[in-house]
Amino acid sequence: MFGLVLGLSVLILLLIYVSGRYNENYWNKRKVKFYHRNKVTGIFWDYLTKDRAFFEYLYEIYKEYQSEPAIGLGGLLTPTLYVMDPTNVQHVLASDFHSFNHRGITISEGDLLANNILLMNGNRWKLVRQNLTPLFTSTKLRAMYYIIDKSAIDFMELLKSTPELLKGNLFDTLSSFCSAAIGAAVFGVGTQSIFDSPFLAMARNSFEPNTINNIKFSLASISTTVCKYLDVKFFTKHEKFFIGAIKQIIEERKKENVKKHDFADICVTLQKNGKLIDKESGLELEPTDELLAAQAFFFYFAGVEPTATAIFATLVELGRHPEFLEKVQNEIDEAFIKNDSKMNYDIVSNMSFLDMAFNEAMRMHPPIAFLTRECVRDTVLPIGNIKVDKGTRIYTPIFEYHHNEKHFEDPETFKPERFSPENIHKIADISFMPFGKGNRICVGMRYANLQAKTGLIYLLRKFTVNTIIKAGGMRYSKQQLQVRLNNVDLELSPRTPRCQ
């Protein structure tokens, strides 16, 4: 027995050594510097064994090697490249989209809820996205704004009737608002018990950074081959509840035969029209309840916690800077006075200082810290003339650019004026991308902006905010993709708007 254990140990160590040397030689041959720490698993070993967000390890590499066009990272049977030069990042995310249109995660067959436009690739992704994009046009958002507005008003009633919610743990409270708003506006879910919804618990659980989810995330990122072999699935435990709920919503909408300008309307229309057909490739997809439920699942988990993160970050920075908080509240009061205490899509969209503060908060604390891609055909990155083979996994920065003084002067200081109409032209497109960039930019970006700003408007009209930074200073919690502020909280105090 001892001999067997010893033999296996030696074999594993040999495989680790060979894999590490292969990774290093692979990138040395391409004249790309290689990150020597953990030559096989890259930064994933540190992520799994330490209590820090994944992006913080990328940020450390960025600060050390930012003069390099890209850095090779360890990967198990999967070449992995961290692309840092802005021209190369632009090339990956936009200019050479046909070579880098893969999201970087390959879903297992049978992982039904993972079959959504976030994780789909190729022609399937293009076909489904084309059919869902109409949900988020300006016309649709104007039509559904009344639902978002009603959710914000209901949220204020909840805070008024439950004053204990004003004193800390505000991120969870904001998540309940986002859950209610997207549940109503996208799925047509009514407001009864909406702030205590099982959908919210599901959204929180989907990417909770627990041990199992972290291992799955790491396996999917380190090696597509191993992930496929192990048949890793992400969301199977939510299938019965969520698919069943969406089936019920679609059936009820068909019976009601009314238009509510939401996702359920699109589901009914797609199923009525029959197969989705891509004329270029000939690909055909049946809009089954399961396929549509997967898209709804994406809208839900992407629309709750990331949006709550953006609202929370904005409130944190405004609470730290009372002079800017006052400006935002004055703008909100003026808007209610001028518009007979009513809000609509255009009024929200035209609140300039709120927009400046919101964008600056997302610059400092973007909901998502980095982007991933997979190369689908052999190509070359222009800066450094770096050969990238099909199958290479790519990381590109977001948080790093947002905090680089080359892109933003004094980047650790909250300065909403960066995004004023007079200054916004100075910001390079590639240096600010809280919702991503290129053809795979977040499809619900405009909805998320509208939902977040509406929540902020009603909240800051009725309350003022105080930021509480706990002992040890503001940090980030351990997350896979997200930028989640930690060791900081908010308290709300009632205020009387000037319009009353």
In this prediction, residue 337 has a pLDDT band, given cuts at 50, 70 and 90, of: very high
pLDDT above 60: residue 138 = yes
Using 50, 70 and 90 to split pLDDT, how confident is the model at 4?
Answer: low
Residue 473 CB burial class (10 angstroms; 0-12, 13-18, ≥19): exposed
Element (H, E) at 371: strand 370-374
DSSP class per residue in 382-431: TTTTEEE-TT-EEEEESHHHHT-TTTSSSTTS--GGGGSTTTGGGS-GGG
pLDDT digits (tens, 9 = 90+) for 436-447: 999 999 888 999
454 contacts: CB under 8 Å, gap ≥ 6: 145, 148, 149, 152, 181, 343, 348
**Residue 227 annotated as part of some ligand binding site:** no
pLDDT at 193 over 50: no
Sole residue written with tokens 């009387």: 496
- pLDDT by residue (tens digit) across 108-129? 788 888 899 988 998 999 999 9
Q: How far is CA 352 from the centre of its chain?
A: 24
pTM attached to this predicted model: 0.90
Task: Give the model's pLDDT for residue 363.
Answer: 98
Q: Is the pLDDT reported for residue 87 higher than 60?
A: yes
**pLDDT tens readout for residues 359-387:** 999 999 999 999 999 999 999 999 999 99
Query: Which amino acid is located at 386 in the chain?
Result: I
Q: Specify if 499 maps to a domain.
A: no
- What's the number of domains the chain is made of? 1
- In which domain, by residue range, is 479 found? 2-494
Looking at residue 332, its pLDDT comes to 97
> Per residue in 274-320, pLDDT tens?
899 988 888 999 999 999 999 988 888 788 889 999 999 999 999 99
Cα(20)–Cα(328) distance, integer angstroms: 53
Please report where in the chains the tokens 């001999």 appear, as a residue: 3
Percent of the chain with pLDDT over 70: 89
Task: Report d(CA 111, CA 130) in Å as an integer.
Answer: 22
The residue ranking higher by pLDDT, 355 or 51, is: 355
CA distance 346 to 125: 31
Give the chain's end-to-end CA distance (angstroms, integer): 81
Distance CA 440, CA 426 (A): 24
In a domain, 500, yes or no: no
Q: Which residues fall within 8 angstroms of residue 314, CB to CB, at 6 or more apart?
A: 357, 358, 361, 362, 452, 456
> In the structure, what pLDDT confidence band is assigned to residue 242 with cuts at 50, 70 and 90?
confident
Query: Domain containing 389 — which CATH number?
Result: 1.10.630.10
Digit-coded pLDDT (tens) for 160-187: 999 999 998 899 899 888 888 888 876 6
Residue 5: per-residue pLDDT: 53
Q: What is the DSSP letter of 439?
A: G
Q: What pLDDT was estimated at residue 78?
A: 85
Q: What's residue 262's pLDDT?
A: 82
Q: How deeply is 482 buried, as exposed, middle or buried, from its count of CB atoms within 10 A (0-12, 13-18, 19+)?
A: buried
Angle between helices 239-256 and 263-273 (to 10 degrees): 80
CB atoms within 10 A of CB 427: 15
Greater model confidence, 391 or 249: 391
409-467: per-residue pLDDT in tens?
A: 999 999 999 999 999 999 988 999 999 999 999 888 999 999 999 999 999 999 999 99
Residue 187 lies in a domain: yes
pLDDT for res 240: 86
- The 10s digit of each residue's pLDDT in 37-83 is 888 888 888 888 899 999 999 999 999 999 999 999 988 778 999 99
**Confidence tier at 192 by pLDDT (50, 70, 90):** very low
Residue 99 is assigned to a structural domain of this protein: yes
How sure is the predictor about 206, in pLDDT bands with cuts at 50, 70 and 90?
low
**Is residue 352 in some structural domain?**
yes
